A and B are shown apart, each in its own frame.
Chain A
Amino acid sequence: MKLVTAVIKPFKLDDVRESLSEIGVQGITVTEVKGFGRQKGHTELYRGAEYVVDFLPKVKIEVAIGDDMLDRVIEAITKAANTGKIGDGKIFVVALEQAIRIRTGETGTDAI
């Protein structure tokens, strides 16, 4: 199993969610985050005092999937979240050791 984490632009959430659901991914966790990669921030003024806006609003999505789905999931997220402009985000894949469905106690791929 794999845990796929993607940090994307907030307005792309609906597109990504739809394209994941089209390939059969059934669960997703979403968090509002802030971050930056190589995309630089900028300075603004608040009542005349300068402050730095480094962290940009992003959305982090996490999906737990079986190994067989990995390539399709990466492709789905990439296609849906891509705008071609700086700040599109990143996808991280980690090996998921165990998953449990709390209601039924199912484990492994039965749980995701």
Chain B
Amino acid sequence: MEDIVQLKYALDTFYFLMCAVLVMWMACGFAMLEAGLVRTKSTTEILAKNIALFAIASIMYLLVGYYIMYSSTGPIFPSLGMLIGQENTLDAVMAGGDDAPYYSSRADFFFQIVFAGACMSIVSGAVAERMRLWAFLLFAVIMTGFIYPIQGAWSWGGGWLSEMGYSDYAGSGIVHMAGAAAALAGVILLGPRKGKYGPNGQINAIPGCNLALSTLGIFILWMGWFGFNGGSELKISDIESANNVAQVMVNTNLAAAGGLIAAMIVSRLLFGKTDLTMLLNGALAGLVSITADPLSPTAFGALLVGAVGGVIVVFSVLALDRVKIDDPAGAISAHGSAGIWGVLAVPLSNAEATFGGQLLGVIAIFAWVFLASLIIWSVIKAVIGIRISEAEEYEGVDISECGMEAYPEFTGNK
């Protein structure tokens, strides 16, 4: 009997850890997606942002983030504390009962770091090509250490949003919409890239330099999402959980497929040709949409949820350009617009969720993250500035922030 308990603990811990590894790999997916959608002169800096933010998330979440998110005692205000506490003892596990831990608490921490990292990496795509690197990294410190965990405490940490019935299985709202809200605040203060919008309302194309990288990125994200959603079942070592995990992965895949096909059809009808970047955004939007509840829908239901997300993202990209919100990677649309849909779609297949609870969650999370981010971005802007100069933007943010080109030619030695 004891062997079974040990084995289940080990299996659930292992499962958590492997899912976390898959989600960590999504950081690579975002890096590749974004690197391909910017110009060559901005590639080095966006890669630096992506890999550095993951390191920052890892550290900030260790220092304060995890405590705020999961050890806060009040329903609204976070408890400030540090580090990650003790690991489970053998006795605590063997004691059994409802409160006994059934997987390693370190594994839980590890799993949550990568979610914080995923949330932050959404921002980097929207502010690409014209933001100061260190301004971004400074924001990342605050976002992963405080802004994200505080709203996470309200829901996954057992705070007031979860008490009001807000249901968000793997984080369409908590992770994706939150990231998009922070991105939107940043982009509003940052302004569009030079030359993106013309004086008479023209919207100028700034094509990405490497769609092969972007496609690679989406494939990596698609694969990583099986860990993102699959791991959010939080358990696999019994028949019900195992079946749930399988359903979740099936639904996740179909939502991505639905999102891609829907975006492909819409963009083909709108533009006359098949825009690969819309296919990629469509798959991403499908994944984001199902993330709020990849378990309750049937396979066809998940397909439809993803498909609606795919339609939304295309129109959102066009709409944001109309109001001069320059988002090179379509991050705000794919994670924000589709994230909102994902959260609100939950009651369609999950009887335990209410539309009111979901709407409350959308408003609360968006308002908190957007306003807190706006304040932080404003402070950073006032103190060190968030935008590179016009001359630097012309030469490329790679040179001004990193001092090196991604594709150097004709460099010489002194």
The chain A residues found within 8 Å of chain B, CB to CB, are: 44-51
* B183-213 interface code vs A (CB 8 A; 1 in, 0 out): 0000000000000000000011111000000
B34 CB to nearest A CB, Å: 14
A51 near B207: Cβ-Cβ < 8 Å: yes
Question: Are A51 and B275 in contact, CB atoms less than 8 angstroms apart?
Answer: no
Residues of A within 8 A of B203 (CB): 48-50
- The chain B residue with its CB closest to the CB of A48 is B318
> Which B residue's beta carbon lies closest to that of A50?
B205
Question: With the chains together, A45 CA to B317 CA distance in Å?
Answer: 13
Establish whether residues B270 and A46, one from each chain, have CB atoms under 8 Å apart when the complex forms.
no
Q: List 8 A-B pairs, Cβ < 8 Å.
A: A44-B273, A45-B272, A46-B206, A47-B318, A47-B321, A48-B317, A49-B321, A51-B207
**Which residue of chain A is the closest to B278 with respect to CB atoms?**
A47
B297 at the interface (CB under 8 A from A): no
Please state if A46 and B207 are interface contacts (CB–CB under 8 Å): yes
**Contact bitstring B257-293, A, C-beta under 8 A = 1, else 0:** 0000000000000111101011000000000000000
Tell me the smallest distance from the CB of A74 to a CB of chain B, in Å.
33
Q: A45-B271, A46-B275, A47-B278 are in contact. List 5 more A-B contacts (CB 8 A).
A: A46-B207, A46-B277, A47-B205, A48-B317, A51-B204
The CA of A51 and the CA of B196, in the complex, are separated in Å by 11
**Whole-angstrom distance between the Cβ of A25 and the nearest chain B Cβ:** 28
Say if the beta carbon of B330 comes within 8 Å of chain A: yes
Name which residue of chain A comes closest to B318, CB basis: A48
Contacts of A51 in B (CB 8 A): 204-205, 207
Q: CB-CB < 8 A to B207: which residues of A?
A: 46, 51
**In the complex the two chains form, is A45's CB within 8 Å of B204's CB?**
no
Chain B, Cβ-Cβ closest to A51: B205
> What A residues does B321 contact at CB under 8 A?
47-49
Minimum Cβ distance to chain B for residue A34 (Å): 14
User: Which A residues are CB-close (under 8 A) to B330?
Assistant: 47
- Complexed CA–CA distance, A9 and B352 (Å): 64
Q: Whole-angstrom distance between the alpha carbons of A44 and B275 in the complex? A: 10
Chain A residues with CB under 8 A of B275: 45-47
Closest 6 CB pairs of A and B: A46-B205, A51-B205, A49-B205, A49-B203, A45-B271, A48-B318
In the assembly, what is the distance between CA of A48 and CA of B314, in Å? 9
Most chain B CB atoms below 10 A, which of A45, A46, A51: A46
C-alpha spacing A44/B204, complex, angstroms: 11
Please indicate the chain B residues that have their CB under 8 angstroms from the CB of A46 in the complex. Answer: 205-207, 275, 277
CA distance A77 to B68 in the complex (A): 73
Chain B residue numbers with a CB within 8 Å of A48 are 203, 270-271, 317-318, 321
Complex Cα distance, B271 from A48, in Å, reads: 7
Shortest B246–chain A CB gap in Å is 36
Give Cα A44–Cα B203 distance, bound, in whole angstroms: 13
Contacts of A49 in B (CB 8 A): 203-205, 321
Q: Map CB proximity to A onto B301-343 as digits: 1 under 8 Å, 0 otherwise.
A: 0000000000000000110010000000010000000000000
Query: Which chain B residues lie closer than 8 Å to A45 at the CB level?
Result: 205, 271-273, 275
Write the nearest CB–CB distance from A38 to chain B, whole angstroms: 25
Q: How far is the CB of B174 from chain A (nearest CB, A)?
A: 28
Smallest CB separation, A19 vs chain B (Å): 31
Q: Which of A44, A45, A48 has the most CB of B within 10 A?
A: A48
Contacts of A44 in B (CB 8 A): 273
Contact A47 B273 (CB under 8 A): no
Chain B residues in 8 Å Cβ range of A50: 203, 205
By a CB distance below 8 angstroms, the chain A residues around B278 are 47
Alpha-carbon gap, A45 to B277, bound state (A): 11
Minimum Cβ distance to chain B for residue A57 (Å): 15
Distance of A49 Cα from B203 Cα, bound (Å): 6
CA distance A49 to B271 in the complex (A): 10
Determine if B277 and A47 form an interchain contact, defined as CB atoms under 8 angstroms apart: yes
* Cα distance A49–B338 in the bound complex, in angstroms: 21
Distance A37 CA – B80 CA, assembled complex (angstroms): 68
Distance in angstroms between the alpha carbons of A47 and B330 in the assembled complex: 10
Bound Cα distance from A44 to B205, whole angstroms: 9
Residue of B at shortest CB range from A52? Answer: B205
Among B203, B278, B317, the one with the most A-chain Cβ atoms within 10 Å of its Cβ is B203
For window 68-119 of B, CB contacts with A under 8 Å fall at: none
Quote the shortest CB–CB distance from A95 to chain B (angstroms).
29
Interchain nearest-CB distance for B324 vs A (Å): 12
